[in-house]
């Protein structure tokens, strides 16, 4: 059922949500930082394979990055295989290389700042309006793929102190603290 604020995305829409195939190699895993949403193995793979991506952040729920040239911020749900790999990685368990597909994304406008009457004001770079939803059948017609343009992205839990901005606090660490991974039992 569609929410009233969601409007179908016209086929000629100027902004589409791209799909990406991200390969997390053994080398990337070795270089990555545990419990760090900006430098974990998936974030490092996104930065390497989508060179124009900035402000990359990965947690148990979402993978997010911006493309400044387009003025857009993309949000994708973290695929289950990546969620499991993140849980293992953050606990210090050896992780094998994985391939993930980023699809069913949500594109929102990046913000731009300017001064007005001595105050800094942020405004969206694009006037995308409310959520516009495109639903398509995937190969074989059994799966459904969606893309959303506009509206607001899913919320992110802010850390209690600004210096901890890249420490993974939403989802993955809270989910794994005090729990043993299946491979540890």
Q: What's the pLDDT tens digit per position in 15-44?
A: 678 999 999 999 999 999 888 888 899 999
107: nearest Cα among 18, 21, 42: 18
pLDDT at 117: 85
pLDDT at 185: 56
CA dihedral 157, 162, 166, 171 (to 10 degrees): -20
Q: What is the rounded CA–CA span in Å between residue 47 and residue 39?
A: 9
Low-confidence ranges of the chain (pLDDT < 70): 1-15, 138-141, 157-185
pLDDT at 103: 92
pLDDT at 105: 92
pTM, full prediction:
0.76
Q: What are phi and psi of 85, to 5 degrees?
A: -65, -40
pLDDT at 52: 96
Q: What is the rounded CA–CA span in Å between residue 124 and residue 128?
A: 9
């Amino acid at each position: 059922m569609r929410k009233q604020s969601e409007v179908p995305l016209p086929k000629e829409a100027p902004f589409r949500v791209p799909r990406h195939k991200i390969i997390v190699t053994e080398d990337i895993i070795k270089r990555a930082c545990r419990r760090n949403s900006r430098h974990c193995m998936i974030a490092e793979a996104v930065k390497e394979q989508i060179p124009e991506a900035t402000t990359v952040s990965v947690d148990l729920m979402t993978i997010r990055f911006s493309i400044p040239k387009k003025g857009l911020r993309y949000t994708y749900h973290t695929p289950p295989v990546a969620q499991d790999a993140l849980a293992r990685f953050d606990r210090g368990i050896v992780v094998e290389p994985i391939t993930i597909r980023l699809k069913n994304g949500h594109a929102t406008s990046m913000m731009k700042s300017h001064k007005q009457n001595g105050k800094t004001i942020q405004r969206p770079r694009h006037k995308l309006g409310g959520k516009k939803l495109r639903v398509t059948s995937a190969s074989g017609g059994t799966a459904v793929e969606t893309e959303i343009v506009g509206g607001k992205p899913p919320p992110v839990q802010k850390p209690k102190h600004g210096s901890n901005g890249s420490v993974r606090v939403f989802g993955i660490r809270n989910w794994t603290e005090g729990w043993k991974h299946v491979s540890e039992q």
